[in-house]
Amino acid sequence: MRIVLVGPPGAGKGTQAAFLAKNLSIPHISTGDLFRANISQGTELGVRAKAFMDAGELVPDEITIGMAKDRMQQPDAANGFLLDGFPRNVAQAEALDAMLTEAGMKLDAVLDLEVEEDEVVKRIAGRRICRQNSAHVFHVIYAAPKTEGVCDQCGGELYQRGDDSEDTVRNRLEVYHTQTEPIIDYYKAQGLLVTISALGEVHEITKRAMDALKK
Ligand code: AP5
Ligand code: ZN
């Protein structure tokens, strides 16, 4: 299956993607995680992306689209993938369509996680992620690690993302409304959109998503 996950910052895309990718046996491809890995490795791409991420702005398409395409062309993605955080504007959605059409492939569904703004602000404020692997995500109240500040999965140190500060979060939400939300109509017009509520317990939402994808 080829699935795109959309939703505002803090909706739980990364959290759900980890479970959905496992259930569906497809790789979880997060452009945010790819950027963060490049930043921690000090690559040129990471250096170019960092200022945009710190400001809560989208990294320019000419950097993002190439990086996402390279990842989707890896052998483990040949039979499907779950995209988290890409596409994030209509130009990226069109580039993805063009790439898939050229390869004789298509998307199966676009899963939209719906959560109100008050809740995403609470989720982001309490989020802590692992220095060793940014896919290891916790929350000080909703998903607390067994030992404060330590990752349950690998023992790495937990920290708060630089772009999770109040001002940057406000800008990320604004960028989501103006630049990312238009892709919802874009995919609705293609008959691919599946919307579920992302409120409630994590595993309940995964079940809701799996049920919606089976339809
Ligand atoms: P990215 O890393 O994609 O960030 P985002 O979209 O803002 O999403 P988040 O990671 O903030 O949230 P999430 O929905 O994954 O929530 P999570 O599961 O962590 O992008 C970061 C930046 O990179 C962008 O701002 C941009 O600069 C750049 N970028 C990335 N992709 C790009 C692209 N395509 N084009 C251009 N630029 C790009 O959950 C949040 C918290 O809530 C966690 O603490 C979690 O434990 C908790 N939680 C999750 N589910 C629940 C639940 N059901 N109940 C209670 N708590 C929950
Ligand atoms: Zn970890």
pLDDT 10s digits, 168-187: 999 999 999 999 999 999 99
Give the CA distances from residue 54 to residues 45, 46, 51, 117, in Å, rounded to whole numbers and listed in that order.
14, 12, 5, 20
**What's the ipTM?**
0.96
Contact yes or no for 137/32 (Cβ under 8 A):
no
What local confidence, expressed as pLDDT, does residue 111 receive? Answer: 98
Ligand 1 pocket, CB under 6 A: 7, 9-15, 31-32, 35, 52-53, 56-59, 64, 85-86, 88, 92, 123-124, 126-127, 137-139, 142-143, 163, 172, 202, 205
Question: Cα dihedral angle (185, 188, 192, 193), rounded to 10 degrees?
Answer: 80
Which ligand sits closest to the CA of 134? 2
What local confidence, expressed as pLDDT, does residue 166 receive? Answer: 86
Q: Which of 88, 123, 128, 208 is the catalytic position? A: 88
What local confidence, expressed as pLDDT, does residue 167 receive? Answer: 86
Q: Measure CA of the first residue to CA of the last residue in the chain; give whole Å.
A: 13
Tokens describing residue 48: 């170019």
Token pair 């699935």 in the structure block, residue: 3
Consecutive 10-residue averages of pLDDT for the chain (215 residues): 97 96 97 94 97 96 97 96 98 98 96 95 94 90 96 96 90 96 98 97 97 92
Does 37 count as an annotated binding residue? no
What local confidence, expressed as pLDDT, does residue 4 receive? Answer: 98
In three-state secondary structure terms, 95 is helix
Q: Is 127 noted as a catalytic residue in this protein? A: yes
Task: Tell me how far apart the alpha carbons of residues 104 and 190 are, in angstroms, rounded to a whole number.
Answer: 17
SS3 content of the chain, % helix, strand, coil (to 5): 50, 15, 30
List domains and CATH numbers for the chain.
Answer: 2-214 (3.40.50.300)
Tokens describing residue 27: 């790789």
What local confidence, expressed as pLDDT, does residue 134 receive? Answer: 83
What local confidence, expressed as pLDDT, does residue 183 receive? Answer: 98
Q: Is 88 noted as a catalytic residue in this protein? A: yes
Phi, psi of 209 (to 5 degrees): -65, -45
The whole-model pTM stands at 0.95
Task: Tell me how far apart the alpha carbons of residues 167 and 191 are, in angstroms, rounded to a whole number.
Answer: 36
What local confidence, expressed as pLDDT, does residue 156 receive? Answer: 97
Which atom of ligand 1 is the closest one to the Cα of 30?
3
H-type alpha helices, 80-201: 90-102, 117-125, 166-175, 182-189
Q: Which of 123, 127, 128, 208 is the catalytic position? A: 127
Q: Which residue, judged by its Cα, is nearest atom 27 of ligand 1? A: 53
Which ligand sits closest to the CA of 50? 1
Helix or strand run (H / E) with residue 167: helix 166-175
Token pair 């999770």 in the structure block, residue: 164
